[in-house]
Amino acid sequence: MATAAQALAALQKSIADLAAAAETEEQLGSAGLVSVALVNGSANFTLTPQLVEALEIQVNRDFGPLWGVHVRLSTAANPAAVTAGSWYLLITDNSDQAGALGWHNQTGGQPYGEVFVLPAQQSNVVLSTVISHELLEMLADPWVNSLVQYQDASGGQNLAPLEVCDPVENDQYNVITSDGTQVAVSNFVAPGYFNQATKAPALLDFMNKLTGPIPAMTTGGYISYLPITTSGTWEQLGVRLAGTS
């Protein structure tokens, strides 16, 4: 894990307005439109057109107007078949990290994520919510370098990664597709959540469940944080139920 000094340096290199959390036009394209390929490498999961449609609806109707990014989804047989310039989300059976249902990262300037079918099934977690979770977090912080500074109840200063689903990750809602299929997707926080000056009734999360800005969470949500007042190490606030990141 990074030290407090390293984390502060990363904060200085992050986008100027972390509360808005929208990447620059150069990074996302002049229209804020990102192409993401869904790659199904699982023998135990079927990637349906309804799921693809529901994820596009969620991003472009619900998430995009708040976070300034929109998506065009496609499918690919494997990561090597992903169109140049596209990001991708790989759906596979087994986790490569103990207890993880999904994660996102970037390599060589290409954001990507992985979602794990069997751990989700074993945890009774609806896989579409995990896919939604990782997709939204990848869109909000594709380079995995955005940090938010906040004050805790004791007055200490902390840094938290800009994760838009973690604080509300156990909440979900249904998106209805054009053929009437209901697909469960993850709740997510709004940009105002990361600004501690935000007061009610400002929108803090899409489902309106949060009672305050960071470090508030709903049941089953969590926040990873680095105490900088005490130069501590990375810690976790809340109970992480779903195992996503």
pLDDT of residue 21: 33
> What tokens were used for 29?
């394209």
- Give pLDDT tens digits for 94-111: 998 877 899 999 998 899
Query: How confident is the model at residue 26, as a pLDDT?
Result: 42
d(CA 101, CA 207): 22
Predicted confidence (pLDDT) at residue 23 exceeds the cutoff of 60: no
Q: How far is CA 56 from the centre of its chain?
A: 15
- Count the alpha carbons within 13 Å of 31 in the hemisphere toward its beta carbon: 7
Query: For the chain, what is the mean pLDDT?
Result: 88
Phi-psi map region of 124: left, alpha, beta (phi>0 left; psi -120 to 50 alpha): left
State how far Cα 75 lies from the chain centre.
20
HSE-CB at 110 with a 13 A cutoff on CA atoms is: 16
Which of 32 and 64 is assigned the larger pLDDT?
64
Element (H, E) at 40: strand 33-40
- Split at pLDDT 50, 70, 90, the class of 9 is low
pTM as predicted: 0.85
- H/E run at residue 103: strand 102-107
Q: What is the pLDDT of residue 184?
A: 98
User: 109 versus 129: which is more confidently predicted?
Assistant: 129
Dihedral (C-alpha) 190, 121, 42, 37: value to the nearest 10 degrees?
-10
